[in-house]
Amino acid sequence: MEALSAKIVNFCTEQSSKFNNYRMSLIAFIGLLVYSNTFSSPFIFDDSANLVNNPVIMDLSLSGLKAAFHSRRAIGIITFQLNYFFSEWNVVWFHLTNIIIHIFASLSVYRLLQLLMATEYFSDKTDECFRQLPLPFFAALLFVVHPVQTQAVTYIVQRFASLATLFYLAAIISYLNARLHQFELRKLFTVRAVVWFCAAFFCAFLAFYTKETAYTLPLAIMLVELLFFKCPPKKILLVFTVSATVVVAMLIKYAPGTQSLQRALSAIDEATRLQTTTARLDYLLTQFRVIMTYLKLIFFPVNQRLDYDLALSRSFFEWRVFCSFLVILTLLLAAGWLLKLSKNGYPHFRLMAFGIFWFFLTLSVESSIIPIIDLIFEHRLYLPMFGAVTAVSAAVIMFAWGRGASSVKSVCTGFLLILLVLAVTAYQRNIAWSSEVSIWADTVAKSPQSARAWNNLGAVYIKEREALSALKAIIRSIELDPSKADAWNNLGIALDIMGAYNDRFRRTTEMFQTTGSHESKIVNRWLGDVNNNMGLAYEITGNLKRAVEFYSNAVGYNPALTIAYYNLGIASAKMGDASKYAEQLQILNLIDPILAGRLQARVEKR
């Protein structure tokens, strides 16, 4: 056992190019192994709207490329166009592309940390022993196997997150190569430095046109410059000016053609929110809680899910909001304290501080004052995860290397065992993505208050022609949130699939598709239909009391809806309510005698 531990330590720390290549190969192999069970996972959820039903994805022509660049995510869209061009909708190639991106992003984590440990700060305060520490290797392994990364890799459309991260890290790697070359030669301008700076700009361009989270890249470069290079005030001012210029340029880009300050501000406000009118303060307060969920997932990746049933917070003094804020503030103050300590010869502390600052900086686009319709998604952790694995790995190494050789062996072995557990957990998590039914069944089990998850599960059951299961799921969705027309319409589709009840309901999938359809008469007709359908769904699933309630609602919205009286009469008779049944029969005799006869014959037959 002692010999094995020694070999593990040697493999992790040996600095020869051969062992460096071995470590990189191991990172790639583990990444492929962890995601080897995802190749047959189908297109799920937003994949349909953004990929399968998106004509731009199927058009790799000049016009298709132009259409891609009308989006803020053109580069990611082009990679999907290439997938379709070579394999059409074969999911294997879509997944393989995502896995390759993830592996290269993990290798970028490895290389970026190697470069950071060779910067000006560490050259002054550390020796060769420090640069032999396996921090880059540990961090890259954590990054490649951590279960929270599965949504960004296995959920096909979230390639935007992983690809933007790859370009983001590549831009900083290029920048560091340029700066290290300048530092080595003590020259500001060299051919190699210029080439690396050009590469950094090119990678930044690719990142900016892949996902909006990349807009923090100038600030990330500033963070690297401030923490790892000797930065005079003039250079800080220059970097800040360049960063501010980039931000202003982006704001101008999304406020074109404005003729007044008020219109410009309105355009910017519209550009800095996504499909929601949520107040910015409410969104920010909620994000304090979201960040706590993210931190929990990093350290305890259990109960992962596609959709979280998280309610909006509206007060800073909600105890969850306030406590979350205190934890976040404590982490930021701790990062500042660690940064101060690092000036006294504790280089690990600087890396830990850097990781914490990186985590919050790269979360800032999606977890601050820019409201997004979805409050939380696990794939948003993909880029911030670099900061988390850096801070954790630095803390582990500081603990191990400060306690002697035996501690180093024990910690290295223990760390690799933890990585094994995380890898198995990620592999298991990917099983949930094996089908649409499995991912949504997993989601409703963990987020039972999510109306969207229940409706999506119902929609998947409809695709599978499992009408009764669909009805149960859609009923639950409507109970949780009756305001979504999509769920009501899915209810009609599920009833239609059952076949035996076609004379007792109307499908409503085409409602609200025509001009003027929001007139009160048409709305009431739709409400009558969907309440009748809900009553029938309850009747089929055995809840007669609720069935009677919704049938009564249906005739209230649309007194001319004869099938609702018919259904109400049947349900009343089943419950033994003779007077209610007689009332419906009497009404039908007045407005539809034929249907009244059918009702009477049906009840007497029972």
Would you state the pLDDT for residue 10? Answer: 75
Please state, in angstroms and rounded to a whole number, the distance separating the CA atoms of residues 509 and 492: 7
Say if CB 222 and CB 243 are below 8 A apart: yes
Would you state the pLDDT for residue 246? Answer: 65
Please state, in angstroms and rounded to a whole number, the distance separating the CA atoms of residues 57 and 34: 28
Would you state the pLDDT for residue 11? Answer: 78
pTM of the model: 0.91
Burial class (CB in 10 A: 0-12, 13-18, 19+), 524: middle
Please state, in angstroms and rounded to a whole number, the distance separating the CA atoms of residues 522 and 528: 10
Would you state the pLDDT for residue 512? Answer: 47
Radius of gyration of the chain measured on its C-alpha atoms: 29
Look at residues 216, 236, 134, 222 and name the one whose alpha carbon lies nearest to residue 167.
Answer: 216
Cα angle at 387 between 154 and 428, to 5 degrees? 30
Say if CB 528 and CB 555 are below 8 A apart: yes
Measured in degrees and rounded to the nearest 5, phi and psi for residue 274 equal -130, 105
Would you state the pLDDT for residue 266? Answer: 61
Say if CB 573 and CB 603 are below 8 A apart: yes
pLDDT in tens, 516-530: 445 677 788 888 998
Q: What sign for the dihedral angle of Cα 81, 84, 89, 91?
A: negative
Please state, in angstroms and rounded to a whole number, the distance separating the CA atoms of residues 44 and 155: 7
Top-tier CATH class for 437-605: mainly alpha
Q: What sign for the dihedral angle of Cα 77, 78, 79, 80?
A: positive
Would you state the pLDDT for residue 514? Answer: 44
pLDDT in tens, 506-517: 877 554 444 444
Measured in degrees and rounded to the nearest 5, phi and psi for residue 315 equal -140, 135
Please state, in angstroms and rounded to a whole number, the distance separating the CA atoms of residues 57 and 60: 7
pLDDT in tens, 353-371: 999 999 999 999 999 999 9
Kindly report the number of other CB atoms within 10 A of residue 125's CB atom: 15
Q: 606: which 2 tokens?
A: 């029972």
Burial class (CB in 10 A: 0-12, 13-18, 19+), 438: middle
Please state, in angstroms and rounded to a whole number, the distance separating the CA atoms of residues 230 and 505: 74
Query: What is the DSSP secondary structure assignment for residue 212, as one 8-state letter?
Result: G
Q: Which residue has the tokens 């001319």?
A: 560
Please state, in angstroms and rounded to a whole number, the distance separating the CA atoms of residues 533 and 348: 63
CA dihedral 477, 481, 482, 485 (to 10 degrees): -80
Low-confidence ranges of the chain (pLDDT < 50): 511-517
What are the residue boundaries of the structural domains of the chain, listed by start? 2-43+89-231+273-433, 437-605
Say if CB 94 and CB 155 are below 8 A apart: no
